[in-house]
């Protein structure tokens, strides 16, 4: 009698894969828990994955139980669906990258602003107030008067 362990091997492999994915997902959730932006990005990615899983389940059921299901349409549909999924993933990664880079740049510039000498800041502030007052005066002069002066 020969024992076939193929089914058992597939079950063990599937459980191991699920365990790795759940541990990774848990680590991502813990990492993002302190940051609302990344938490939102992760939630959107989970929604995308859920939608992907539901659509693939419907395709599997159609393929399994509908005898006239055209495989060519299935292949095209799956390709387009995964292309849209990858677009959503790239968008999420790009948004996260932009967020990280702009935060770092903003923090760097804020630190530089805080390190400005107080006398230099006062001079900049006086120049700003002068220009603001000049702009207010320019707005109060009618356009017809400004055209005749220039």
pLDDT tens digits for range 34-43: 888 888 888 8
| Sign (positive or negative) of CA dihedral 11, 16, 21, 26 | positive
pLDDT-derived band at 139 (thresholds 50, 70, 90) equals low
The average pLDDT across 43-68 equals: 86
Q: How far apart are CA 43 and CA 41, in angstroms?
A: 5
pLDDT in tens, 95-108: 889 988 998 888 88
Do residues 51 and 38 make contact, with C-beta atoms less than 8 angstroms apart? no
Q: What is the DSSP letter of 2?
A: -
How far from each other are the two terminal CA atoms of the chain, in whole angstroms? Answer: 105
13: pLDDT strictly greater than 90: yes
């Amino acid at each position: 009698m020969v024992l076939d362990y193929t089914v058992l091997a597939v079950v063990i492999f599937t459980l191991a894969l699920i365990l790795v994915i759940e541990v990774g997902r848990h680590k991502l959730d813990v990492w993002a828990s302190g940051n609302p932006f990344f938490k939102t990005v992760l939630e959107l990615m989970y929604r995308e994955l859920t939608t992907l899983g539901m659509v693939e389940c419907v395709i599997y059921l159609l393929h399994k139980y509908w005898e006239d299901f055209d495989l060519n349409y299935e292949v095209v549909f799956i390709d387009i669906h995964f292309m849209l999924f990858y677009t959503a993933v790239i968008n999420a990664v790009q948004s996260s990258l932009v967020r990280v880079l702009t935060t770092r740049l903003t923090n760097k510039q804020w630190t530089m602003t805080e390190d400005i000498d107080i006398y230099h800041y006062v001079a900049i502030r006086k120049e700003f107030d002068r220009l603001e007052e000049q702009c207010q005066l320019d707005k109060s002069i009618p356009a017809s008067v400004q055209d005749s002066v220039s």
